[in-house]
Structures are given as C-alpha cells and as structure tokens.
Structure 1
Amino acid sequence: MEVTIDQNSGYCFGVEYAIQMAEDEMEGENTLYCLGDIVHNDMEVKRLREKGLKVIDREQLKCLSDCKVLIRAHGEPPETYKLAIENNIELIDASCPVVLKLQHRVKTAFDKMEREQGQIVIYGKKGHAEVIGLTGQTLEKAIVVMDDADLDRVDFSRPVTLFSQTTKSTKGFYALKEKIADRIREAKGTLTEVDFNANDSICRQVSNREPQLLRFAAENDVIVFVSGKKSSNGRALYQVCQQVNSRSYFVENEDEIDPSWFEGASKIGICGATSTPMWLMERLRDFIQSLEDKTVFAQ
C-alpha cells in the first residue's frame, strides 16, 4: 500500500511566516501573547502553547500593558494598533502581506465610496478574523455577504464596490459578482463601472489549490483530509476532495482514523488545509503505515 502526502497542501506562506515569527520571538521570551489562535489548527496551537505562546482575545488585550503581542496572519483593524500605543504594547506584526495590501485597497475604496454615497461589500464569513480587519478599514460600514439572504442588506440603487476575503472560493466570488450585477440592473435598468466595481482579492496561493487537490483526490483510492474543525478553508477544500472521491475522510488527528476506511485500497492520499502543518500530515502518514504493519487491513 502506498501512502502519499500532497506536497501542495499545508501552510500558505502567510501562516508559515507568522508561526516562524512566533517561534523566533519565544526563543528569548518567557511568554508571548497572541491575539486569537495563530492558526485554525488545535494541534499546532497546543504545540506552540507548550513553547510559551499564550492566546488571548480582544477583551483580554484591553487589560494588558508593557508586553509583546503577536498579530497573526489574518491582520487586525486600526483599533488594535491604537490600543497597543495607549497601553505600551509592542506588536509583533505577522499580518500576511496579501491581507495588508487588501486592507489598504479596502480603505482607499471606502474613502471613495463615502464621497460617492456608495457601499463596500465583502464576500466573506462574518466574524472571521480577516473580515474583522477588513471591516475595520470602513468604520464597520462594510456589508459582509455569504449567501443570497445577505444581499437584501445592499442598496442596489447606490454604487457598490465588492471585495473578497482572501481565502474564499473563486467560484463563489464570481457567482456573487453576477448576482450583484443582476440586482443592480433590476434596480437601475443599466450597469456601468460607476455602478459596480468588483475586485477579485482572493489569494492565488489558496485558490490554486482547488484544481491541484482535484487531481490529487482523483489519483488516490482513499483521501484523509487533515484540518482543524474551526478552519473554513479546511471545510471548503475537503468538499473539493469529496467532489471526485467519495472515500474522503476529514480528521483532526490520528485518533479519529478508522482502519476500515482503507480496506481494499492500494493508494492512500493525505492532504490538508492552508492551516495544516506538514509535521501533522507526516504523523498521520506514519500512523497509517503502522496500521498496515500490524496487518489491520483486509487483503
């Protein structure tokens, strides 16, 4: 039996950068605070906690002073930086460069929309850390949209500028773009560049994983998809695997593996989300191979 790890899976460069910054800081510090889970993977959070990384929320941040706090790859709204200055907090800013660029674009577009009585619409998950950082650029005026029901909050008689959370589905973004365009035509009888400006702000390192994952899932008899349960990217990529391979299973760690999944399989593929560490996928590979060594699989 062959067990293969998808080499395109694992951390995107933004998450990898944030974790490396955290580890570098902790080499010389007893405690480093992190505003929210550094990554949506409980196994990695646990590993870093044991090294001295202490996860806090925004309410706890208000009570801190004279310390170091890591900003994770998702980025933060302007209020976080203001609070850090007031409380003499040194920020270790590991915001993903792609996210920082998007924040700047959203802020620039918001200023323009304010002058033109328009609206900023963000395709994303309400309450997601990155989305909080993006809406913070708009004085919380941006309209966050995930499904058709959310579109009812948009005034289609006014100009609309659309952006996307960097980790959302490209297919979903363009479907939303068409729905907004149709609604504007219905409301105004026409559609011009003044009426609607759609910005595909999805990270290509993330979106390109979908076609790669489709091929990987089709090439293997069984897929073990490794991800934290809180990862929206993980859930989306797991569904990609299921599209082409019905024998795809979502696990957080090796404790959730059922040996019966592999009966009659000769090729097993292991893959994961942008928040899944390579060391965890390697651990699952070794565990699955150990099952074969124990002659668990049916021949």
Structure 2
Amino acid sequence: MLHLKVTIDKDSGFCFGVVYAIEMAEEILREEGRLFCLGDIVHNDEEVNRLEALGLRIISHEDLKFIKNEKVLIRAHGEPASTYQIALTNNLELIDASCPVVLKLQNRIKNAHDKNENIFIYGKHGHAEVIGLKAQTNDKAVVFQDLDELNLAELPEEITLFSQTTKSTSKFYEITESLSNSGIKINTNDTICRQVSNRDKLLKDFAAKFDKIVFVSGTKSSNGKVLYNICKEINPNTYFISRPEEIQSNQFNNNDTVGICGATSTPMWLMEKVKSTIEEF
C-alpha cells in the first residue's frame, strides 16, 4: 500500500447547465425508458454510457431529418434555428435544455448581426455551441481559435468580438489587447460563463496544495483541456485521465497527497470512482 491521501475538489463537476440537461433527461427516462438526444448530452463518454444504459439514444443532425413523432432533447450547447424548423416539420417534441447563458449569447450575437456589425467569435471550430452561435449570423461570423488564424492587416477597422462561453477569460483578454494594439476598434463582449471562468483561480489554488493532481475529463471537452492546462502550469505532476482504468500506481510515491478535479462536464460519481481506485494502490 502507498498510503495515499486523496481529496476531491468540491468545486469541480457539472456546471448548472449540464446538471439541468441531465436532470431533464433522467426524468423522462424514468417515466418512458427512451429519449433521443441531439449530439452527446455532455462531453464525457462515461456519463453518456450511463445514460444510454437508461435508454438515452444519441442522434446526429442527419438522423434528426428522418425521425418523426418523438421526443428529442436539445442539450446545453444550444442549437441553430434550423433544428427547430426540422422539429416543426417532423412533429418532434423538443425537450429544450439549452443553457440560459448560451441562449443569451445567441440573442446578443443575432442583435449585433441585425445591426450589420462585423462579428468575430473566439471559439473552437466545429464545437456544437459555436455552430449555434455562428448560425445567428447566417454563418457570416468569423470564428477563430487563435489569433494566428487572423490576418490583422485585412481585418475591418471595427469589429464586434464575442467568445464561446467556456473559453479562458485571460486568453480572451489577451486577444482583445493584441487586436486593440493593432489599431482595430473592438466592441468587446465578455460572454464567458463565470461559473466556468471562476474555476481558473479555484483550480490554481487547489492544484498547488497536492503532490499529484489527477484531472478527470472526457477527451472531447474543450473546457477540460483548458482547465487541465491550468492545473499543469501550477502543478507539473498533473495527470489527465478519462476513466479510472487509465491511472497507474507507478505515478505515485508513498504518502503522496493527491488531488482529484475535473471539467464542467465531469460527473462527481466518476471522480469518486477514481478516488476509490487510487486509494487501493
């Protein structure tokens, strides 16, 4: 036995948007035993597997075109207007679990687009939330993950800048400063969810307290990658895992203190399972 002292970060786990979506899904699954969900309900394979065992069926946007007279869950990431139009055509009952923060952002982007502003969105290409945001501009908004993707010399003199809700606040303001220093007038809209961004500081404090950090997240989670890197910067002895089987006893020394934390898409039950696995070393 390595006699490890293991602590789970009480501030990690699902954000309220994900909690809301999963609670809605569980309620319907308890009553009816089946529910379609448009895309992964959360970017965590272990949680998706748990819900699929209860009767959740993950479908794609292509699948949606051929489904009629069913209930379909809209996950926290939100959807473009085209999804709602298909639902009307196919007599689908949408269980809309779109995060209120995302819906508010969609409205702000649509209003800016209606005023013919030059809209730029700091976000991950192809991410479900970003697809829904860009759709508010008839796909005219420019999406970028890094400043290097933009040719500053060719940008308009004035732009309106938004951000995907789960991006890093510090990176967003670095980008804003760089663009401003290039002579571009920016209408900055800090649209990052504070429940997510506030975890930056909390995680830094948490990661500094332990000999080793085990960060639990699905590989598809954008937020997970950001938060993992924050932990890694503070504590180089940080390990990224998606499930308990990936952690190895040789990563620890006798009497190590171990902190377990995760993304906003990581369920608490999974972190508890990781804790139990580590305590057996």
TM range (shorter): over 0.9
Q: Is 1:128 matched up with 2:127?
A: yes
Query: Could you state the TM-score of these two structures normalised by the residue count of structure 1?
Result: 0.90
Secondary structure of 1:138's partner?
coil
Q: Unaligned 5+ residue runs, structure 1?
A: 186-190, 292-299
Classify 1:154/1:43 alpha carbon distance in 2 versus 1 (closer, same or farther; 3 Å): farther
The aligned counterpart of 1:47 is 50
Give the counterpart letter for 1:266 in structure 2.
Answer: D
Q: Which residue of 1 aligns with 2:24?
A: 21
- Separation of aligned partners in 2, 1:8 and 1:103: 27
Q: Is the 8 A contact 1:143 1:154 kept in 2?
A: no
Equivalents in 2 of 1:254, 1:157: separation in Å?
49
Quote the sequence identity (%): 56
The CA deviation at 1:246 is 1.3
Equivalents in 1 of 2:80, 2:107: separation in Å?
11
- In the alignment, the residues of structure 1 paired with residue 123 and residue 269 of structure 2 have an alpha-carbon distance, to the nearest angstrom, of 29
Residue in structure 2 matched with residue 295 of structure 1 by the alignment: none
Q: How does 1:133-152 map to 2 (within 5 A)?
A: 133-152=132-151
- Tell me the secondary structure at the aligned position of residue 121 of structure 1: strand
What's the TM-score, normalizing by structure 2? 0.96
The CA deviation at 1:30 is: 3.2
Could you say what the CA RMSD is over the residues aligned between the two structures, in angstroms? 1.3
Alignment match, 2:215: 225
Aligned counterparts of 1:150 and 1:133: Cα–Cα separation in 2: 21
5+ residue gaps, structure 2, are none
* 1:36 match: 39
Q: Please list, as runs of the form range in 1=range in 2, the aligned pairs for 1:47-196 lying within 5 A after superposition.
A: 47-112=50-115, 114=116, 118-152=117-151, 155-183=154-182, 185=183, 195-196=185-186
1:144-293 to structure 2, matched below 5 A, reads 144-152=143-151, 155-183=154-182, 185=183, 195-291=185-281
- Count, aligned residues: 278
Q: Deviations over 1:269-297 (max 9, x none)?
A: 10000000000000111111122xxxxxx
User: SS at 2:264's partner residue?
Assistant: coil
Q: Deviations over 1:149-206 (max 9, x none)?
A: 32128843343100000000001101111222233x2xxxxx6xxx420100000000
Higher-Rg member (1/2) = 1
Q: Indicate conservation of the 8 Å contact 2:176/2:186, yes or no.
A: no
Q: CA deviation at 1:265?
A: 4.0
The alpha carbon displacement at 1:148 in A equals 2.4
Following TM superposition, the consecutive aligned residue runs of length 4 or more in structure 1 with deviations greater than 3 angstroms are none
Query: Could you tell me which amino acid in structure 2 is paired with residue 267 of structure 1?
Result: T
